[in-house]
Amino acid sequence: MSICIENLSHVYLPGTPFERVALSNITFDVETGTCIGIAGQTASGKSTLVQHLNGLLKPTSGRITVNGVNTATGNLAELRKQVGIVFQYPEQQLFGESVYKDIAFGLSNIGMGEPEIGIRVLEALCAVGLGEDLLDASPFSLSGGQKRRVAIAGILVMRPSVLILDEPSAGLDPQGRREILDFIGRLHRRLGITILLASHCMDDIVRLADRVVVLKQGEVAMQGNTRELLRNLEALESTGMTAPPITSFMNRMKKELPELNGCLLTVEEARDELKRVWKTLRKENYSC
């Protein structure tokens, strides 16, 4: 499901003393099946942007089309079945007596019959990596990471074509953060759905995103392939974003070892690159 954002601008409280421009002339496309990172500091416009993608907010000017359907004029009920948003701290929106009832809520709301609901709840629970033994548990008895997965399951049960996650690792400890990001990566590979990941943390984004759009004060400051974006750390840091620690480290190492590839995203990639250069240097030394 392709998304086209054209000259999108949004103004809060226009014509009042509290008028504020949140987005200004945002333009980019999202291809079906890709994972796109929306990066930016707090108040850069990330949350405002993603709320336009399923019609929660309407553009002040410009337009967004999802599979050719204008989000400002199309059927919102159908659009929201196709484009699901998981907001920051989604576990705070859990309210059901059980995990089953929480996940099933959206389907019950549209009048789906119980047999089909049961099948789709189990399907969603499996997709987020939780067991059937949790179906009767209170969602409030779960760990932070489990609560977040249940909240995501409540979106996946609708079988959306696009999944939007706003700061998915917020508030989690380092282990929970790794688990939720690894889970999102597996979900993307397994289901092949389009994912938009909004975060202030480049370290989170580069683990998953094919492309990155960087916002600064409501405007697109940079956009492009994830690795290409990290080749210009000075420009990235001018947007207020910080490069992943491993990328910064490898760039410092590159000053001493020019043959190193400094544009690496993970510790595993850096390890393999250091091994490669070390073997090359040893071979050269022995040949002398």
- Tokens found for residue 150: 């249940």
Q: Which residues pair with 164 in a beta bridge?
A: 85, 196
Fold of 3-232: Rossmann fold (3.40.50)
CA separation (Å) from 111 to 77, 106, 115, 118, 161? 13, 9, 12, 13, 21
Do residues 18 and 207 make contact, with C-beta atoms less than 8 angstroms apart?
no
Q: What is the pLDDT along the chain (288 residues), one digit of tens a residue?
A: 689 999 999 999 999 999 999 999 999 999 999 999 999 999 999 999 999 999 999 999 999 999 888 998 888 888 988 999 988 887 777 888 899 999 999 898 888 888 899 999 999 998 888 889 999 999 989 888 888 889 889 999 998 999 999 998 888 888 888 888 888 998 898 888 999 999 999 989 988 999 999 999 999 999 999 988 888 888 999 999 988 888 888 888 888 888 888 778 888 888 898 888 888 877 766 555
Q: Which residue has the tokens 């019609």?
A: 55
Q: For the chain, which residues make up each domain, given as ranges?
A: 3-232, 244-288
Nearest to 169 by CA among 208, 213, 130: 208
Q: Which residue has the tokens 């599979």?
A: 67
pTM of full prediction above 0.85: yes
115 vs 117: CA distance, rounded Å: 5
Do residues 150 and 181 make contact, with C-beta atoms less than 8 angstroms apart?
no
Please give the DSSP secondary-structure letter assigned to residue 139: G
Q: Which residues pair with 165 in a beta bridge?
A: 86, 197
